[in-house]
Amino acid sequence: MSAAKVRTFSARYLAVGLAGYCAFINLYSPQSILPLLSKEFHATAAEASTLITVSTLAVALTAPFTGTVADVLGRKRVIVAAMFALVIPTLMVGLSTTLPQLIFWRAVQGLVLPPIFAVTVAYIGDEWPPREATTAAGIYSSGSSFGGFSGRLLTGLLADLIDWRAGFAALAAIAFAGAIAVAFLLPHERKFVRSEGLSASVRQMLAHFRNGQLLATYAVGFGVLFNFICTFTFVSFHLAAAPYNLSASWLGAIFVVYLVGSVLTPWTGWAVGRFGRRRLMVRVIAIWVAGIALTLAPSLPLIIAGLAICAGCGLICQAISTGYVTITAKAGRSSAVGLYVSSFYVGGSFGAVLGGVAWTIGGWPACVAVVIAILVIMALIVLFAWTRRVPATASIPPIEPP
């Protein structure tokens, strides 16, 4: 392989990793400073969690249509345009002076994120051969996981050192630099087959609702983000209160547990081939139950260990279920992934809302009980609704992490 080909080969891997990083450094960034924002704006925990709800709901509303638009316009054009557009609402979040303003600009952020991550997954599926696609997807997922961790850590650190608004200014600068890099590094698609038009893509999208396997996988995706949002939003309030009294910086640092997923997700394809998709999924969910139960311990190290287990298990479940979508959808892959993203983020919105209700009623133990109930439902769906006949060795391009 010539030096020029090696540079091109490496550049496109770096580009998909950067796309995931820049999207997810923004999406969940307020989680580590929610207790601080709650105090500053005199809001309850449930009201402050709206900052997460609106962005995930906005993603859910636009994700399916992102897929249909990308099927017509092309992948790179949509990805790069959305990355530049993300800079504006990120800056405006930092300039907001009231909670309603914050909520509005967080919603706008959510609207422009699906063209980045949903279309990047479709780009990987189209442009890489199956064996290389798993590697590319692992790099994308690892970049996304690191972005999710970095966003929470950076906002927490800057909130303590300067002001929480400085954190969002820094995120906007990173998003702008990432957009420029992806514009130069990501090759134009060569294997993409343009759709005949939006109407044809919409018909393909509607056809997915007649596929029982896809519907079951969408339900699992709903549960994955439901549990992540319920867990990692309200554990911040739990740890910010006595006897832990953690600052925004320490709350952000706790999200280092997300790096567990960055290490594990590239191995998901091997694990599926070794154990089988259904069997692996059920076992991972069982470990996830043990992890969330561990967070009820009074010891902070045990709580962090439980959160690390939750992060690792959740990201593995996400990789498996997303791979199942791309294998099951024989046509209209972008729209199939878009619908998965939509169900995934609807689940996140419900996780914030119902988590807020649980927190109000019974604090952290009530949130844990809700998460365990959803995990049990997910396991039952996998056991009784996922087919045994899909090849376990098919490539798995994981979508964005929670």
The separation between the first and the last C-alpha atoms of the chain, rounded to the nearest angstrom, is 37
For every one of its 402 residues, what pLDDT tens digit does the chain have, with 9 covering 90 and above?
Answer: 444 443 455 788 889 889 999 999 998 899 999 999 999 999 998 899 999 999 989 988 887 777 667 666 778 888 999 999 999 999 999 999 999 999 999 999 999 998 888 788 778 877 777 667 767 777 887 788 788 889 999 999 999 999 999 999 999 999 999 999 999 998 877 766 555 555 666 666 677 777 788 899 999 999 999 999 999 999 999 999 999 999 989 998 888 887 776 677 667 777 877 888 889 999 999 999 999 999 999 999 999 999 999 998 998 888 888 777 767 766 666 677 778 888 998 999 999 999 999 999 999 999 999 999 999 999 999 998 887 555 444 444 445 556
Copy the structure tokens of residue 200: 């044809």
Residues 45, 237: contact at Cβ < 8 Å?
yes
| Cα 31 to Cα 22: distance, rounded to the nearest angstrom | 17
Half-sphere exposure of 313 (CA within 13 A, CB side): 27
The CATH number given to 3-385 is: 1.20.1250.20
The 3-state secondary structure of the chain, one letter per residue: CCHHHHHHHHHHHHHHHHHHHHHHHHHCHHHHHHHHHHHHCCCCHHHHCHHHHHHHHHHHHHHHHHHHHHHHHCHHHHHHHHHHHHHHHHHHHHHCCCHHHHHHHHHHHHHHCHHHHHHHHHHHHHHCCHHHHHHHHHHHHHHHHHHHHHHHHHHHHHHHHCCHHHHHHHHHHHHHHHHHHHHHHCCCCCCCCCCCCHHHHHHHHHHHHHCHHHHHHHHHHHHHHHHHHHHHHHHHHHHHCCCCCCCHHHHHHHHHHHHHHHHHHHHHHHHHHHHCHHHHHHHHHHHHHHHHHHCCCCCHHHHHHHHHHHHHHHHHHHHHHHHHHHHHCCCCHHHHHHHHHHHHHHHHHHHHHHHHHHHHHHHHHHHHHHHHHHHHHHHHHHHHHCCCCCCCCCCCCCCCCC
Domain locations along the chain: 3-385
pTM for the complete prediction? 0.83
What is the predicted pLDDT for the residue at 393? Answer: 44
pLDDT of residue 193: 59
